[in-house]
Structure 1
Amino acid sequence: MLKFSDLNPELLNPGSDETVFEATIDTHGTYTTEHFVLRLSPRAHELVDAITRQETDDYETAELYQAYSTYLHETIHWWQHVG
């Protein structure tokens, strides 16, 4: 099973296009106030998507909790910034 530490940064680089926001691979998630951008790692996206689809049988419970708590944490930063 793929873990956060198994991510390959080479696959996430969209090239030299600065208008494209890259995924974050250094952390589970981040919020950038200068761009109003909430970024999650590809694995966090996968896990949060699994939760919203209610298809979590193939995933570890701890990883699901970590991904969703990261999503909520970064969303709260967004709410604080825009609120």
Structure 2
Amino acid sequence: MITLTTKNLDITGKVCPYCLLAVQKASASLQKGDELLVSCDHPPAATTTIPKFAEDNGMNCAIKKSAPGLWEIRLTKK
């Protein structure tokens, strides 16, 4: 039986490159189907840096603006 996990990562208040470094570290242990749910308030990281990282590292990326100036990014390992 395969158990899928969801990790939460709050990087609000951080700016690049710390946003990306935190996502890289948190996603390193993801297995196929696992999710990383990221809360981010840094626009370049939420709209460019993290989605590009996900694409380059075999992850699906869904971005949702959850409040003014706050994004929820769902990364799923393929």
Question: Shared topology, TM-score over 0.5?
Answer: no
Q: Which has the higher contact order (CA 8 A, sep 6+)?
A: 2
Higher fraction of strand: 2
TM-score, normalised to structure 1's length? 0.33
- Give the structure-2-normalised TM-score: 0.34
